[in-house]
Amino acid sequence: MGQGFGVSGGSIFYNMSGIVTTTEIKQVRFEARCLQVEGSGGGAQGQQGFAAGFTTGSVQYDLSVTPTKVYTLGPAGTVAVAGTYDNSTAFHEFLFDFTPPTTFRIYRDGTLIHTGTSGFSVAANRIFFGDGTGGANAHIEIRALRFTQGVVTATEPATWGRVKSLPLSTE
């Protein structure tokens, strides 16, 4: 694992531009394990060496994983999620669940580990994954990576007023 070709803050990642809306629910979900990180500059602990997320036109949101920590973005940069995790010996499912205009939740293996309401100011419209710093590196194995937009949220009806019965068949 060597240093990337970018500079700290340069972000070297795969991205797809022009498809992110500001009004729909979004999810970034991946199953991975992070074996090793190498820090640099603003990612001295390896944070953002691997990140997956999206930018809504003016705000970037993401989820970053190292062998022992989980990170996200805040207005001033990377924010550590409370706790220490073993993200290296087994694969784990990570979910970044976003509800407009700014609320997000981070889950690890189905357990809520963080809730936030702000991201980092970036003028772009994209989904991305890879090195979020341009300097830090991560050796990560990914089994699945999905971005979903317009996710349906299950709700319970408040009343039975609109429920209709179907005629019973006598056959």
Instruction: Evaluate the CA torsion angle 146, 154, 61, 94 in order and state its sign.
Output: negative
What's the rounded mean pLDDT across residues 74-99?
96
Strand partners, 98: 26, 104
Q: Would you identify the CATH topology of the domain 12-146?
A: Jelly Rolls (2.60.120)
What is the reported pTM?
0.83
Residue 161 has pLDDT above 90, yes or no: no
What is the residue extent of each domain of the chain? 12-146
Residue 13 has pLDDT above 80, yes or no: yes
pLDDT tens readout for residues 92-144: 999 999 999 999 999 999 999 999 999 999 999 999 998 888 678 899 999 99
Mean pLDDT, all residues of the chain = 86
